[in-house]
Chains A and B, each alone.
Chain A
Amino acid sequence: GAVVSQHPSRVICKSGTSVKIECRSLDFQATTMFWYRQFPKQSLMLMATSNEGSKATYEQGVEKDKFLINHASLTLSTLTVTSAHPEDSSFYICSARAGDSRFYNEQFFGPGTRLTVL
């Protein structure tokens, strides 16, 4: 149990276009989802925290108008990179936290999405 999927796994787009990344919890309800960004050979940088049905909370320095997060249901959160530029190229990883005492304080991570902006 506790599987998180991301789609797409890899995307290449032109500069100026928008890209949507989906994060789904497949076998549990995720009360909270997190979006991370990872640069090559570096740690994960938390971008934002989203709770189902409410606005995302962004970390300092993350542009909320550029990285739109929607958490419309207990199993789906989306991250849209608007007007993408080459500097947005990165590995984006989502995680989900279950509202279930079996998984106390544990986050389950998706496999990541490699975004390349040309």
Chain B
Amino acid sequence: GDSVTQMEGPVTLSEEAFLTINCTYTATGYPSLFWYVQYPGEGLQLLLKATKADDKGSNKGFEATYRKETTSFHLEKGSVQVSDSAVYFCAYTGSSNTGKLIFGQGTTLQVKP
């Protein structure tokens, strides 16, 4: 069935460190892929997306490339800030045609000054 696997957290980094959060998915066809960010006590905000293979989504210094051959969509940022501390969710549109999103379990990022 449809599923998303994210690396387990929490991930703790010092400011200006390099960030990678791994995400792999199981799906048939060509889903759209997303990264969402959730700050404490808030709803989800779309961070970036990619709708076809080899697309690179980018926003606020974060990037992720749609790798169909490895069914991955790893999130990267070259230099994290304290304000990036949040929970990050990888998601994709499942195999059904309903528009349902399949979410990973979320990865907590803590950035220390």
Contacts and interface: CB of A to CB of B under 8 A. Distances in A.
A41 B44 CA distance: 14
A109 B100 contact: no
A6 B43 CA distance: 10
A95 B89 CA distance: 15
Contact of B103 (A44, A105, A111, A112): A44
A93 B44 contact: yes
B67 to A, nearest CB: 18
A82 interface: no
Contact of A106 (B41, B49, B89, B105): B49
B47 to A, nearest CB: 12
A109 B46 CA distance: 8
B70 to A, nearest CB: 21
Given A43-B89, A43-B106, A105 B43 contact: no
Interface in B68-113: 89, 93, 98-101, 103-106, 108
A107 interface: yes
B22 interface: no
B42 A112 contact: yes
Most B CB within 10 A of own CB, among A34, A42, A46, A105: A105
Nearest to B42: A111
Interface string A85-118: 0000000010101000000111111111010000
Complex A-B, nearest 9 residue pairs according to Cβ-Cβ distance, in ascending order: A111-B43, A112-B43, A109-B44, A105-B32, A109-B43, A43-B105, A43-B103, A97-B99, A43-B106
Given A93-B43, A106-B34, 14 more contacts: A6-B43, A32-B98, A34-B101, A41-B108, A42-B106, A43-B105, A44-B103, A97-B99, A104-B51, A105-B99, A106-B32, A109-B36, A109-B44, A112-B42
Interface of B: 32, 34, 36, 41-46, 49, 51, 89, 93, 98-101, 103-106, 108
20 contacts: A34-B99, A34-B100, A41-B106, A42-B105, A43-B103, A43-B104, A44-B44, A44-B103, A46-B100, A49-B98, A93-B44, A97-B99, A105-B99, A106-B32, A108-B46, A109-B43, A109-B45, A111-B43, A112-B42, A112-B43
